[in-house]
Amino acid sequence: METRGTTDSRVRQSVGGSDKGAIGYIGQYPVSRQSCPPCRTLNPRVLPPPPPVPPPRSAEETQPFTPPHTTLSIRPLPNRTPAQAMNNTPFVMPDPESMVGLPTKANENPHNHTSQPDPNPTVMPDGDNLSVPFTFAIFPRIVIPFGALTQNMAEAQVEAIKADPGKFLAVIPHGAGKQFYERNPHANREAKAFIESFGSTEISITGIDIALPISHHKAKRDFDGPWPMILSGASPELAAFLKWHQTFSVNRRLTFHVVPFDLELESWVIMTISGDAVRDTPEAKRKVLGEIKRKLWKDTHFHNFCNSVLSAAQVPGSLAQRVVHATNTFDLTFVQTQDSAGVDTPLFLLTGKPITKDAALHRQWLAMIRGIPKGYVVDMHALIIDKRWVDCVWCKNKIHPAHGCPFDKVAGWLGPRGRVVVTTGAAATVIAATTMTTVIAVVVGTEAARTATGTMTVGPL
């Protein structure tokens, strides 16, 4: 039987079998013109017949698959509490007034360090054969950030130091400033001659040079920068000894400190705090520090800043943990001072470890702490921020006033000694001209008062 008009090879004829009359199959069902009325007039495309039915499988082939037996060594889980296992223990903010275990990292505070740290230099001058005697003693460490160390210094000198800071050392006269260099125009030669006395077979002094600082603009006040002379050409052995000993007290005119030009050094001093809440008691310290932390922990801007900086530094923890971490190094130091009228004006000095070495970010951090919205209040008393400051004109440290400078209190001190005179203007001029002691004016008030002729300004204490 032939399907009329069909040329598709997939159309198959039905020959024989029980499905007589079928013209093809749809699936396994036969199709004929009787069962499909449209097919009486059309020639449909017919599906091929189904594939043959496979023969039945043997009994072995129908058995289920059993995988081979294996033994697995399962490591037991660590013995943890359910909260630890889920790592979802919520962080609870600590009591801001608690000082248990605080401040952290106090041993890293550079203001707590001294000269002559361990270990000693491998090579040291022979003390028995020195031609010029000086005070061999341990002094507080000089901490001056690079920006302050090079303030008002000519750009040519600053850029050369920045390009290769390890090539130079800062030689800072005790009491350096405009007045010192006017009175000692050859201080660099005297310092160089003294340092050359350390020369020996083990310490080379060949090629050393000390340059006077060049002012970027004319200094106005007696202690305005630039402060350091610039030592170059020191051998590694000589440089190591100078930095280790730091302070060289030779006589009233020749006493200086040697420190490196450290581009990354930042002071830990954050701000000064004055007001009636400042008292030299543990309770006052606890309340003031607690108020500062409490306000900072609630400040969204400070939160986000600390989280951003510390996460970039890969400090672990949540946002709350990082803001607590940033304030765990905070500490208060009580500083007793007086104003020009002789009235006690005590201060708290807030210190803390910088959370970044980036100078611009560090300044932002300081500004947020000092300028917290709505300020700080303790027992109804406002904490007055940075209205008064601590600034030693002698050693240039910012953790004590000039009248509290500890250097001239070290046994064997041969350098200059200052006498604090609470006065300004003409009275200071007369005292300075008639005594052998340098006069320091501790003043509070106008800029004109602080720049009075004949005074050494400590600042508004």
Of the ranges 21-35, 88-102, 303-317, the best mean pLDDT one: 303-317
- pLDDT at residue 160 is higher than 60: yes
Give the closest residue to 362 by CA, choosing from 268, 290, 288, 291.
268
- The neighbouring-strand residues paired with 249 are 255
Q: How far apart are CA 86 and CA 95, in angstroms?
A: 26
Q: How far apart are CA 214 and CA 1, in angstroms?
A: 119
Q: How far apart are CA 179 and CA 176, in angstroms?
A: 8
- pLDDT at residue 346 is higher than 50: yes
Model confidence pLDDT, tens digit, residues 207-242: 999 999 999 998 889 999 999 999 999 999 999 999
Between the CA of residue 88 and those of 81, 85, 173, 189, 323, what are the distances in Å? 11, 8, 57, 67, 19
Q: Are 456 and 440 in contact (CB under 8 A)?
A: yes
pLDDT, averaged across the chain: 82
Query: Residue 226, preceding bond cis, omega within 30 degrees?
Result: yes
Sorting pLDDT into bands at 50, 70 and 90, what band is 426?
very low
Q: How far apart are CA 214 and CA 227, in angstroms?
A: 10
Show the CA angle centred on residue 236, arms to residues 169 and 242, nearest 5°: 50
- The neighbouring-strand residues paired with 386 are none
3-state secondary structure of 39: helix
Give the closest residue to 179 by CA, choosing from 446, 439, 443, 460.
439
Place of tokens 């000039």: 402
Q: Among 47-51, 85-89, 405-409, 435-439, whose mean pLDDT is lowest? A: 435-439
- In the chain, DSSP finds a helix count (H) and a strand count (E) of 12, 16
Structure pTM?
Answer: 0.72
Query: Residue 401, preceding bond cis, omega within 30 degrees?
Result: no
Residue 275, class by beta-carbon neighbours within 10 Å (0-12 exposed, 13-18 middle, 19+ buried)? buried
How many of the other CB atoms lie within 10 Å of CB of 408?
A: 16
Residue-wise DSSP of 111-141: GG-BSSPSSPPSS---GGG-SS-------BP
Residue 286, class by beta-carbon neighbours within 10 Å (0-12 exposed, 13-18 middle, 19+ buried)? middle
Q: How far apart are CA 112 and CA 106, in angstroms?
A: 8
Q: What is residue 349's predicted lDDT score, i.e. its pLDDT? A: 96
Sorting pLDDT into bands at 50, 70 and 90, what band is 292?
very high
User: Tokens for 452?
Assistant: 């009075």
Model confidence pLDDT, tens digit, residues 89-146: 788 999 999 999 999 999 999 999 999 999 999 999 987 788 899 999 999 999 999 9
- The neighbouring-strand residues paired with 22 are none
Q: What is residue 174's predicted lDDT score, i.e. its pLDDT? A: 97
Q: What is residue 447's predicted lDDT score, i.e. its pLDDT? A: 35
124 contacts: CB under 8 Å, gap ≥ 6: 241
Q: What is residue 157's predicted lDDT score, i.e. its pLDDT? A: 97
Q: Residue 378 phi/psi, 5° resolution? A: -130, 120
Q: What is residue 38's predicted lDDT score, i.e. its pLDDT? A: 53
Q: What is residue 35's predicted lDDT score, i.e. its pLDDT? A: 54
Q: What is residue 43's predicted lDDT score, i.e. its pLDDT? A: 52
Percent of the chain with pLDDT over 90: 63
- The neighbouring-strand residues paired with 234 are none
Model confidence pLDDT, tens digit, residues 428-459: 433 333 333 333 333 333 333 333 333 333 33
Strands (E) across 4-107 are located at: 24-26, 29-31
